[in-house]
Structure 1
Amino acid sequence: MLVYSSVMSYIAPDGNELQEMQKGDEAIVLDNDNPIDPVTGLSRREKDYVQQSWQHVRQDLKAAGLGFFHAFFHAHPEYKEKFKKFTDIPADKLIENRSFQVHAMSVMNAVTMVVDTLDDVPKLVNELKNLGASHGRHNIQVSHFRNLAVVLVAFLESALGPELFQEDVKQSWIKALDLVVTVVATGLPQRSPSATESTAN
């Protein structure tokens, strides 16, 4: 279980506003070349692993989105009922469905936002809280985000292969996505203790 107390303290108790970071905060140094972000808990190297591996994915986000969402519904077919626009579309026809394509792309854009703002904590937290709030209106729960994160890691591992998605890269993604789920949970109507469970199997 990974609990990001620094991130949680960065979010106001009412869940609506960010607290101002303490002045003078500096990165905790793991070693001279790999400082750890005191808020996210991610090291410079872990951020680099996430950002560099995503560069390969973003070369064709449409294909990645379709492949990922197909894998997601294969792993969790029960979630398909939450998408009214393509609930009744057979699994083998989903890729041809416009609504499915649009939603798959929106998920890829959301992941890209996370990757691109790992060094901008205020923006990252705000965007993730808004993401939680918008999905909470559709009765999406923390467990859904956690399961999505698990499938995303498995998809990246399969799509990029062992050379590009080595164990250090995988663990960096797991840690980053644990952070994402933790913050998204603060934007949902009701937080669940399961929000802090690891995305690792």
Structure 2
Amino acid sequence: MSDPADPVTGLTWRQKEAVRESWGKLSSEWKTHGVEFFIRLFKTYPSILAYFKTFDGMGFDAIHSSAKLRAHMLNFKHGITSFVDNLDDVECLTVLIYKMTENHFRRQITVNEFQDALTLFATFIQEVTQCDDFTLGAWTATLTVISSVIRDHMTLLQSLGDVV
């Protein structure tokens, strides 16, 4: 049976299904996993924590129980869900990634920070879901597509300067 790749994203139907299925499992327990992911992100990349001024002076225990962290990790979940839900609608997916990129660009978050977070996210998915190599590869390919759109759009936003 043939599993042709999407001409724009390069993702196959099987890869998209693997991502959808694993995200369904992971997102169903995101209230626990989301907090764990962000704490791990902040510990691994302390420079990213600096963008969260609301956590200034707070220890990891206080951040862990913070309503603001729970709210942010739920926004993250909704963003990833919208990306996963639109893997077959590349135009909509692109607009969703652009909007998220613009929101973070205004906060001076760079492509490198996105890359760090997405790389850690792939590792996190593998550890938490104990997914097989195919699913991990599907996530890696999907996050590479997302990262590429973020990078290209950030480059455009930087060239526009104060217009955005």
Q: Which residue of 2 aligns with 1:181?
A: 147
Equivalent position amino acid for 1:166 in 2: D
Percent pairwise identity: 26
Structure with greater helix percent: 2
Amino acid across the alignment from 1:103: H
Aligned to 1:147: 116
Q: Report how many residues are paired.
A: 157
- Give the deviation of 1:141 after TM superposition: 0.5
- The superposition leaves residues 114-153 of structure 1 with CA deviations (integer Å, 9 ceiling, x where unpaired) of 1111011111000101111111111110011111111101
- Secondary structure of the 2:56 match is coil
TM-score, normalisation: structure 2: 0.90
Residue 62 of structure 2 corresponds to 93
Whether 1:190 and 2:130 are equivalent positions in the alignment is no
2:67 counterpart of 1:67: no
Per-residue Cα deviation, 1:147-175 (whole angstroms, up to 9, x for no partner): 111110111111112xxx11111111111
Structure-1 separation of matches of 2:2 and 2:21: 17
- Letter of the structure 1 residue corresponding to residue 56 of structure 2: T
Paired position in structure 1 for 2:26 = 57
Instruction: Using the TM superposition, give the Cα deviation of residue 111 of structure 1 relative to its aligned residue in structure 2, in angstroms.
Output: 0.9
Q: Distance between the aligned counterparts of 1:92 and 1:52, measured in 2?
A: 32
Aligned-residue offset at 1:61:
2.1
Alpha-carbon distance between aligned partners in 1 of 2:152 and 2:100, rounded to the nearest angstrom: 10
CA–CA distance in structure 2, aligned partners of residues 141 and 176 of structure 1: 20
User: Match of 1:139, SS?
Assistant: coil
- Tell which has more relative contact order, 1 or 2 (C-alpha 8 A, sep 6+): 2
The alignment's TM-score, normalised by the length of structure 1, stands at 0.74
The equivalent of 1:12 in structure 2 is none
Amino acid at match of 1:89: M
Unpaired runs of at least 5, structure 1? 1-31, 192-201
CA contact (8 A) 1:129 1:186 kept: no
Within 2, Cα distance between the matches of 1:109 and 1:69?
Answer: 15
Matches within 5 A, 1:131-142: 131-142=100-111
For structure 2, the 5+ residue unaligned runs are 160-164
